[in-house]
């Protein structure tokens, strides 16, 4: 019996600890199969984030230029618009009269020889007077279409600036005629009694 037990013991290999080469190859293949789609998702999200940050920075640049222009309008006096509402004359707080217009894809504030770029890469601009029911201009709507420098897409930004009735229109001088005739008009919006 002893011989038989020795033969059986010799043919049995001792158990090795650890993992085999085949197990390593199979594990590597599974991990690779799982990581390829994850890497694609990470790459796509990184690209989306960079595009979003680029759009946000372009949008922020347009917004900051528009905020500066809005502040200049609030502190100054608008003297009029061109016939297409693409430019306006603005008297600044310091007394300088400037023209705010679109020139060479830039919204510029022109004071004689001095040209200040307010917003760059502008496609279109529109200045729309806002009138009350009495006919007085009480504000201005500004719409700006600008190009995103990175993607080339168009950014549409607009705002409204409310002001006391101080505007004059280029086409009509009715406000000066009514004040000369003694017709004071109404000082505010007309109110109707509730029923």
Q: Residue 179: is its pLDDT beyond 50?
A: no
- Is residue 192 very low, low, confident or very high in pLDDT (cuts 50, 70, 90)? very low
Give the list of residues 6+ apart from residue 77 with CB closer than 8 angstroms, or none. 90, 91, 166, 167
Does residue 41 or residue 190 have the better pLDDT?
41
d(CA 151, CA 38): 26
Q: Residue 126: is its pLDDT beyond 80?
A: yes
pLDDT of residue 151: 76
Q: What pLDDT, in 10s, does the model give residues 92-122?
A: 888 889 999 998 889 999 888 788 888 888 9
- Is residue 195 very low, low, confident or very high in pLDDT (cuts 50, 70, 90)? very low
Q: Do the beta carbons of residue 62 and residue 119 sit within 8 Å?
A: yes
pLDDT of residue 27: 92
Q: What pLDDT, in 10s, does the model give residues 25-73?
A: 999 999 999 999 888 888 888 888 777 766 667 788 888 888 988 888 8
Q: Residue 172: is its pLDDT beyond 60?
A: no
Reported pTM: 0.55
Q: Do the beta carbons of residue 73 and residue 140 sit within 8 Å?
A: yes
Contacts by residues 173-182 (CB-CB < 8 Å, ≥ 24 positions apart): 174/135, 175/136
pLDDT of residue 193: 42
């Amino acid at each position: 019996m002893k011989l038989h037990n020795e033969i059986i013991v010799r043919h049995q290999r001792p158990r090795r600890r650890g993992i085999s080469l085949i197990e390593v190859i199979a594990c590597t293949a599974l991990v690779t199969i799982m990581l390829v789609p994850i890497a694609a998702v990470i790459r796509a999200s990184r690209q989306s984030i960079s595009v979003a940050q680029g759009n946000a920075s372009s949008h922020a640049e347009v917004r900051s230029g528009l905020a500066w222009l809005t502040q200049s309008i609030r502190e100054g006096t608008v003297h009029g618009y061109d016939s297409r509402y693409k430019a306006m004359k603005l008297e600044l707080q310091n007394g300088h009269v400037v023209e705010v217009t679109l020139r060479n894809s830039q919204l510029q504030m022109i004071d004689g020889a001095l040209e200040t770029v307010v917003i760059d890469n502008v496609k279109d601009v529109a200045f729309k007077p806002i009138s009350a029911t009495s006919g007085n201009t009480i504000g201005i709507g500004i719409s700006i279409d600008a190009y995103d420098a990175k993607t080339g897409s168009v950014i549409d930004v607009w705002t409204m600036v409310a002001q006391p009735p101080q505007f004059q229109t280029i086409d009509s001088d009715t406000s000066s005629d009514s004040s000369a005739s003694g017709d004071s008009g109404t000082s505010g919006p007309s109110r109707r009694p509730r029923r």
